[in-house]
Amino acid sequence: MQIDWITVAAQIVNFLVLVWLLNRILYGPVTEAMARREAAIRERFEEAEAREREAAEEAEKLKTEREAAEEARGEQLAAAEAEANQLRQRLEHEAREEIEARRKAWKDQLDKEKGAFVAELRRRAAGHVERVARMVLTDFAGADLEDAMVGTFIRRLRALEGEDLVALRAEAKDARGQLSISSAFDLQEAARERLSKALREVLHEGAEVEFQKDEDLICGLRLRVRARTLQWSIDAYLDDLEEQTAEWLEAGRHAPGQKAG
């Protein structure tokens, strides 16, 4: 069998022409289309990745903002709670102060009323005691009240001894015999002479006595030698009565069934 080389050459040329045509018309456009498609797909992937990164960054940003908001909210709640506690403590303190002020005002008013009552009771009791003392001394001593008071005072003066007597004599000496006698009413001349004589005998032989009237003294006499005094009066008994009355009032205030306010 003989080979027709002309025919083979023609087929080879036709094949090459076909390949060139296919590459020119079909394979080239297809390859370019596939490249463009691949580039578009790659671009879309890149855009998707960029969007994913943006979404992740936005999510992180939102997470940070949420955490900051929660922290700020916690701080605001803590500040509000602290402010509420301070307000509660201030109101409690003001309430305690107001209660204490009212209690003190009530106690002051009670003490004032108690003092006024005791003073009035003392005044009335003093008058009654003085009247009774005058009658008793007049009836049983056989002398008027003035003589009885002077006699009692002189007996007390002569009964002084020890440090009390030494101190009074020293004061009288420093005062150069300047003494004073106070009484609730004016003493008669005879009573003044008796007192002056007793003071010269007991305290200072050159004593000069100044007699004064002191209405606050209730049925009694008071000797003053500079800073020292010697007194006898019904005041001592009235002071005891006042003290007992005050104790009675205080006990009555705290007695069961009494409201302390």
For each of the chain's 261 residues, which pLDDT tens digit applies?
566 777 777 778 777 777 777 777 767 677 777 788 888 888 888 888 888 888 888 888 888 888 888 888 888 888 888 888 888 888 888 888 888 888 888 888 888 887 777 777 666 765 566 566 555 544 544 446 677 778 888 888 888 888 888 888 888 888 888 888 888 778 888 888 988 998 888 888 888 888 888 877 767 788 888 888 887 776 666 666 566 666 665 665 555 544 444
Q: What is the dihedral of CA 44, 49, 51, 54, to 10 degrees?
A: -160
The domains of the chain are located at 9-39, 122-250
- 182 DSSP β-pair partners: 212, 222
Q: What is the pLDDT of residues 1-45, one digit of tens each?
A: 566 777 777 778 777 777 777 777 767 677 777 788 888 888 888
Distance CA 216, CA 235 (A): 9
Alpha-carbon span 29 to 171, nearest angstrom: 145
